[in-house]
Amino acid sequence: MKIKFVIIFIILAFLKAEFSHSQNDTIKGKIFSSVNMKIPKGEIYVFEKGTSNRTIANDLGEFNLITKTRKESHLLEISVGNYPNLIYEYKTIWNKRKKPKSIVINGKCEITKEQAIKDWKNGTPKLYLNSGIAPIANTKKDEKFERKYKVEYVELGCEGKIYECVTEYNFYIIKILDIQYQRKWRKTKRKEIVGMEDYKNSIKACLN
Amino acid (one-letter) located at 147: R
> If you ran DSSP here, which 8-state letter would residue 123 be given?
T
Q: How far apart are CA 43 and CA 157, in angstroms?
A: 20
For the entire predicted model, the pTM comes to 0.79
Q: pLDDT tens for residues 88-111?
A: 999 999 988 889 999 999 999 999
What is the mean predicted confidence (pLDDT) over 70-74? 92
| pLDDT digit string, tens, across residues 6-59 | 454 454 444 444 444 457 889 999 999 999 999 999 999 999 998 999 999 999
- So what's the pLDDT on residue 1? 53
The full set of domains in the chain, from first to last, is 25-105 (2.60.40.1120), 113-207 (no CATH)
Q: How many angstroms separate the Cα of 28 from the Cα of each of 12, 80, 92, 105, 202?
A: 29, 17, 10, 16, 28
* Residues shown for the chain: 208
Quick check: helix, strand or coil at residue 147?
helix
User: Which amino acid is located at 178 in the chain?
Assistant: D
92 touches 73 (CB < 8 A): yes
